[in-house]
Structure 1
Amino acid sequence: MKDPQVVVITGASAGIARATAKLFAKTGANIGLIARGETGLAGAKKDVEAAGGHALTIPTDVADYDQMEAAAVAVEDAFGPIDVWVNVAFTSVFAPFTEIKPDEFKRVTEVSYLGFVYGTHVALSRMIKRDRGTIVQVGSALGSRSIPLQSAYCGAKHAINGFTESVRTELIHDHSKVKITVVQMPAVNTPQFSWVLSRLPNHPQPVPPIYQPEVAARGVLYAARHPSRKQYWVGLSTVKAIVGNKFIAPLLDHYLARTGYKSQQTSEKVSPDRPNNLWEPRDGADGHDFGAHGIFDDKSKGHSGQMWFSHHVKLVIGSAVGGLGLMALITARTVRR
């Protein structure tokens, strides 16, 4: 019987990472759950065990390389060699660039970019020696097409793409069997909009269309199983953003300047000093566990036809070719009659 996979997921206390942990658990995986919030980690551990996996919770700040290295050691001591490492953890600030303080911008960059760098480094330091393993970076359409009010986050997501491309070329040069891929995400209904540092007058929201975190998680699991592709795109909105930016970027600049402020806020007023998770985790207050979902369930999609097509493109093309062949055969027989 094949040994269960050993998987590490950062940011695992909530959102996409938490939904991803649950999917891996259904395969029987042993999972190292990394995040700062201990209440969310405890909830994620329950999710994993209920789904059939085993979990080790490791409270960790991904912006601290030594903590990340210690987390990797703990996972391998408990479960054995790491097979898959998934970088998800991030934070953000919703505000015009000039209203973001330098230390805040630095913190977003350290978590949302350097956290990926450190996770990749500690994973590769183990995987390269074994000549096996997979790293999945959870990216964003905003890593190709930036929007207003999220300059720190967009900058980090752009940086992840450039960093990962460089690492991939080095692995190819060395003929390594270790794989690294990126899954570019659309707007997702995660708790971040309830705890992100925001200086907007109204409650932050993801730019519609919004997808449930389970859609994103299915994209991550598929990428981990098929890591040879450079990138995967989840959601038609991601395709539109990335492709559109290649051809009509100046038009998108003006369109987003007109619509980007309103589309990222609800009509609900919020206090500018509401608690946020930039410096400290927000879960745990009164024992609260945010879970995988945010507050936009009624506006979110549970499926993505684009992603299904992306994962089954060979089947679709084969079926189309077969259908055309059958039609041609029927037509030929009809003509002969």
Structure 2
Amino acid sequence: MTGASGGVGRAAAVAFAARGDRVALLARGREGLAAAADAVQRAGGEALVVPVDMADAKAVDNAAEQVVDAFGRIDVWVNNAFAGVFAPFTEITPDEYRRVTEVTYLGYVFGTRAALRHMLPRDRGTIVQVGSALAYRGLPLQSAYCGAKHAIQGFNESLRCELLHQGSGVRTTMVQLPALNTPQFDWVLNRMPGRARPMPPVYQPEVAARAIVHAAGHGRRREYWVGGSTVGTLIANAVAPGLLERYLARTGFDAQQDPGEHGGTGNLWSPADGPRGRDFGAHGRFDGEAYPASSQGWASRNRGRVAKALTVGAGVGVLAARRLTRTSTS
């Protein structure tokens, strides 16, 4: 699990551990990693801490080797690490843009390459790319992050085609997430007057964690959409992208800021826990408004059961209609 020290990565690591899995925790922040390892062990799993910067290809390769040395193999690799800058495009420096791209996009590329190096010889394994509704629909103030998520989407589709062509037993799938209550909004590099926040509705990171764990066991499916807001956004973007752009131009600036001084620590160049020794955990400051579950997410994970229920319901409806017709004619 990359990006395992906090947020979605922390929540997903604990969800895997609850199944009794052995979980390798990859991230930069040592305080967050130590706390994540403790959480994994308390949940019933076995933790391996591997400090690594996902923008360093060689370091990522070495991290994968450490995992194989410790656990014997890699069954599931989850790419989740990211960085971001919360500012208008013209206020982001070239170096900052490059850094966001190297962590958020190339980090996924390097992680996938490292995983495939060990999975392809065994002809088995699953790579989960943690995406976002923003892989399809860009938001104002997040151009670097949205650009990277779009790139991951295209990269993953190309990789899937190549694996299918090879008849490989290795699977790759992508999980598109909604707005989540994670600490990222307090550690993102922020140049706006207000405190960064997710556009509502907001879900708890455990909603994402359940989807990621499910995707890890069902990698044949190319993509998972999590949360009703994700579904609504992607459909609206496919049907009327111009109208959606105008709507976001009017609402996107205010909806992504809370009043008050942000005091963002900024984890672009160094871990947010840094010298302060702070563990940010999985949750952000939006517990009061975040949804703990998603009915759409449940339906997405249980498409077969939903389809069966709809089929049965349709059959019952047809029988009832026939009976009504017979009664009326008699």
Per the TM superposition, whether the score is higher than 0.5 is yes
Give the match for residue 313 of structure 1. 303
Give the match for residue 12 of structure 1. 4
* TM score, norm. by length of structure 2: 0.96
Q: State the shift of 1:275 in Å.
A: 2.5
SS of the equivalent of 1:297 reads coil
* Cα contact 1:210–1:301 (8 A) shared by 2: yes
1:212 paired to 2:196 = no
- Work out which of the residue numbers 292, 296, 315 in structure 2 matches 1:302: 292
- Work out which of the residue numbers 255, 258, 261 in structure 2 matches 1:263: 255
SS of the equivalent of 1:17 reads helix
Q: State the shift of 1:228 in Å.
A: 0.8
SS of the equivalent of 2:241 reads helix
- Work out which of the residue numbers 32, 39, 48 in structure 2 matches 1:47: 39
**Stretches of 4+ aligned residues off by more than 6 angstroms:** none
* Cα contact 2:204–2:291 (8 A) shared by 1: yes
Counterpart Cα distance in 2 of 1:331 and 1:95 = 58
Give the match for residue 93 of structure 1. 85
- Work out which of the residue numbers 21, 29, 36 in structure 2 matches 1:29: 21
Counterpart Cα distance in 2 of 1:333 and 1:195 = 63
Q: State the shift of 1:284 in Å.
A: 4.5
> Which 5+ residue runs of structure 1 have no aligned equivalent?
1-8
SS of the equivalent of 2:33 reads helix
* Cα contact 1:10–1:34 (8 A) shared by 2: yes
* Cα contact 2:173–2:222 (8 A) shared by 1: yes
> Which 5+ residue runs of structure 2 have no aligned equivalent?
none
Give the match for residue 110 of structure 1. 102
* Cα contact 2:186–2:262 (8 A) shared by 1: no
1:188 paired to 2:186 = no
Counterparts of 1:119-158 in structure 2 under 5 Å? 119-158=111-150
- Work out which of the residue numbers 263, 279, 282 in structure 2 matches 1:292: 282
SS of the equivalent of 1:20 reads helix
CA RMSD of the aligned region, Å?
A: 1.4
Q: Report the count of equivalent residues.
A: 327
Give the match for residue 5 of structure 1. none
* Cα contact 1:94–1:200 (8 A) shared by 2: yes
* TM score, norm. by length of structure 1: 0.94
Counterpart Cα distance in 1 of 2:159 and 2:6 = 28
Q: Percent identity?
A: 54
Counterpart Cα distance in 2 of 1:221 and 1:170 = 24
* Cα contact 2:176–2:230 (8 A) shared by 1: yes
Evaluate the alpha carbon distance shift between residue 327 and residue 144 of structure 1 in structure 2; reply closer, same or farther with a 3 A threshold. closer
1:323 paired to 2:275 = no
